[in-house]
Structure 1
Amino acid sequence: MFKKDAICKGEINVKIGYRTIKTAIGTPVAISIAQLLGVTNFVSAGILTILCIQPSRKRSFLSAWHRFLACIIASIYSVVFFELIGYSPIVVGIMLAVFIPTTVFLKIAPGITTSSVIILNLYSSSYINFSFLMDQFLLIIVGIGTGLLLNLYMPSLDKQLKSHQKKLEGNFQVILYEIALYIRDKNKTWDGKEITECEELLEEATELVERDLENHLFRSKHAYRDYFKMRARQFELLQRMLPLVTRLPNQDYISEKIAQFFEELSESVHPENTAILFLEELVELQKEFNTEELPTSREEFETRANLYRLLHEIEDYLRIKRKYKKSDIKTRASV
């Protein structure tokens, strides 16, 4: 029933993301500002900006703070080590051996790379005075500040989340329909690719939701997060149903009714919630199942047992949707 493709075809798509665009804009802007301010090593401002571009506002603020604090500590360490011990590569190594554990202890390790730029600038100067320290401090402000300002703009992820929602629901429809076909006539032509696609879509959607939450610092709830959590739980149940379906040795009157039920479900997968209607229909189906004559052979017994478990799994599937949101019984049936 579930065959996997032996050959996977793919395409290489070159996309320019918003982080790339921000980097391309921010780097020359930071360099230009630093150059206009007469900052020494003004090119380093561009490097600092590149290192500060992040995928979300929350990570941007944290990154900016970590990098700023690490740069300040790096400046202090540079004064102590270079001025007291000397300007040599060995001293740079010794200082880094002390500086890096310090950042790890203070939980600002992401700032190591950025602060290394400042350390090397101070080392290359062969002298450190107050004026040069202020010069590097201004470089830090320009570089990190430019990256932080650019990161204040984050594109909406609603379009991507909506796309993942539609694709996921489409795959659910296929899975439910293929289950119906197999129960009805043991159709084995399905390759099961929708199973893998669902796993990938749920993983990608979860990442998108978390990133969107990080872009809205004062939002604690997210409608899509609840939705994809609900679908993830339903998908687990669908995966548990598949082995049951493959172990159905024959078909009878009740199995045809169950196949029809799954087919109806496949036509009713979308965001609205009227799962209560399908639960009511399922109750009637279970009653009919219980009134059937007892099996007389091992094969019939196995069929009934697997069908019975299948009914319980699909009941859990529907109950998950019912808990997800208020019932929409005035709209088209949805699972």
Structure 2
Amino acid sequence: MPNWRIGYRTLKTAIGAALAIFIAQWLQLDFYVSAGIITVLCISVTKKESVRASWERIIACIIGLIYGGIIYEVLGYHPISIALLFLLFIPTAVAIGAKRGVVTSVVIMLHLYTVEGVTVEVLLNELMLIFIGVGVALVMNMYMPSNEKDLTWKQVKLEDCFRQIWMEFASYLQHGDNSWNGKEIADAAAIIEEGKGMALKNVDNHFLRNDDYFYHYYKMREKQFAVIKSILPFISTLDKTVVQGEKIASFMEELSQAVSPGNTSAYFLVRLNELRNELKDMDLPQTREEFEVRSSLFYILHELEEYLLTKKKFKPDPKRTRTVSGKRLNRDHEQRDTN
């Protein structure tokens, strides 16, 4: 049986619709139930999305009232007038970027058709319904639960995946161990996609500050993850019989221990440059196999540099870096207690 639960958005929709209808009925407006319908349509998943949707509906409804008033009064209150009204109004709403207000506007325009008259009182009644419905929705949408805790935990899990991937790469180069099933590759891809989506919602839930740290973080990890995937097939061309493969393995092992929200890329770029210089000082390859190995080494070093440069461009948030480190320590303590 599927999980049955009442989410915060469902709760806001129910309360908002009831409140809008109560206000409109208390003001003795005609078609007061429509205020609740407008509120339901304006409840959105983020604050900024709610404002955009509400603005579109207000504009669309005002245009609908103008079109409806003119067409009904000129052509009369006949079904053909409704057909012509929709033919003109819908393309106009789409053209001005208010297509989300089409459904709301249709309700308002049909009110005019129902009362068969366009008077000041009727227009004021419809405008009041619009502003009550939209206003209540905006008030209800002022509360949005923070997802920063979930984003932080995903950050911890993603870095655990990266850490394990580098350790597995190093293990293969050092011991030729090919028992790894690549689970962390799939896990990292899923976490990055989920994290980016959640981070975008987090940005859209702040009006006064551009809190895009998590979005930039997951975009940075996405670029690094692309580097990891590009390295994977070349790792298999190296083995522990290659001295340089052993050095790269040590580098990757050290790199795995430094995966964190902080930025230690400068140190590793220096270490990487030292590895590159060692490679350049090697004797020229004598066989095809040696040439292929040397090519793989150069490619891996190049991709590692891209990985580190991507992190170098990222500006960590000291406050969040401490938070993530604390969560990782707490998780490690919990794991030791259960072992």
TM-score normalised by structure 1 residue count: 0.85
Query: 1:91 Cα deviation (Å)?
Result: 2.0
Structure 1 207/88 Cα, relative in aligned 2: closer, same or farther at 3 Å?
Answer: same
Query: 1:139 Cα deviation (Å)?
Result: 1.1
- Counterpart Cα distance in 2 of 1:311 and 1:76: 66
* Unmatched tracts of structure 1, length 5 or more: 1-10
- Counterpart Cα distance in 1 of 2:108 and 2:282: 80
Q: Which residue is 2:205 aligned to?
A: 215
Q: Deviations over 1:204-252 (max 9, x none)?
A: 3233333322222343463223322322221221122112113337732
Query: 1:162 Cα deviation (Å)?
Result: 1.0
- Counterpart Cα distance in 1 of 2:183 and 2:111: 54
Q: Specify which of 188, 198, 215 is matched with residue 198 of structure 1.
A: 188
- Counterpart Cα distance in 1 of 2:286 and 2:258: 36
Does the 8 Å contact 2:56/2:98 carry over to 1? yes
1:320 maps to 2:322? no
Structure 1 189/164 Cα, relative in aligned 2: closer, same or farther at 3 Å?
Answer: same
Query: 1:115 Cα deviation (Å)?
Result: 0.8
Q: Deviations over 1:99-123 (max 9, x none)?
A: 1111122222211111111122222
- Counterpart Cα distance in 1 of 2:110 and 2:237: 67
Q: Which residue is 1:284 aligned to?
A: 274
Q: Which residue is 2:146 aligned to?
A: 156
Does the 8 Å contact 1:68/1:140 carry over to 2? yes
SS of the residue corresponding to residue 207 of structure 2 reads coil
- One-letter amino acid matched to 2:102: I
- Counterpart Cα distance in 1 of 2:245 and 2:148: 41
Q: Which residue is 2:295 aligned to?
A: 305
Matches within 5 A, 1:112-151: 112-151=102-141
Structure 1 250/177 Cα, relative in aligned 2: closer, same or farther at 3 Å?
Answer: closer
Q: Deviations over 1:62-101 (max 9, x none)?
A: 2212111211121222222223323233321211011111
Q: Which residue is 1:228 aligned to?
A: 218
1:96 maps to 2:86? yes
1:52 maps to 2:61? no
Q: Specify which of 264, 268, 276 is matched with residue 274 of structure 1.
A: 264
- Counterpart Cα distance in 2 of 1:61 and 1:163: 29
- Counterpart Cα distance in 2 of 1:308 and 1:40: 76
Query: 1:13 Cα deviation (Å)?
Result: 5.6
* Unmatched tracts of structure 2, length 5 or more: 326-339
Q: Considering fraction of residues, name the structure with more helix.
A: 2
Does the 8 Å contact 1:47/1:143 carry over to 2? yes
Q: Which residue is 2:55 aligned to?
A: 65
Q: Which residue is 2:20 aligned to?
A: 30
Query: 1:48 Cα deviation (Å)?
Result: 0.4
Does the 8 Å contact 1:183/1:255 carry over to 2? yes
SS of the residue corresponding to residue 154 of structure 1 reads coil
- Counterpart Cα distance in 1 of 2:201 and 2:158: 19
- Counterpart Cα distance in 1 of 2:4 and 2:284: 62
- Counterpart Cα distance in 1 of 2:73 and 2:62: 16
Does the 8 Å contact 2:158/2:191 carry over to 1? yes
- How many percent identity over aligned positions? 41
- Counterpart Cα distance in 1 of 2:242 and 2:92: 71
SS of the residue corresponding to residue 30 of structure 2 reads coil
Q: Specify which of 227, 232, 236 is matched with residue 237 of structure 1.
A: 227
Q: Please, which moves more after superposition, 311-320 or 281-290?
A: 281-290
- Counterpart Cα distance in 2 of 1:38 and 1:172: 62
Aligned residue pairs total: 320
Does the 8 Å contact 1:249/1:302 carry over to 2? no
Structure 1 191/12 Cα, relative in aligned 2: closer, same or farther at 3 Å?
Answer: farther
- One-letter amino acid matched to 1:87: Y
Higher relative contact order (CA 8 A, sep 6+): 1
- One-letter amino acid matched to 1:281: R
- Counterpart Cα distance in 2 of 1:248 and 1:12: 49
- Counterpart Cα distance in 1 of 2:117 and 2:160: 66
Does the 8 Å contact 2:240/2:246 carry over to 1? no
Q: Please, which moves more after superposition, 291-300 or 314-323?
A: 291-300
* Aligned-CA RMSD value: 2.7
1:252 maps to 2:255? no
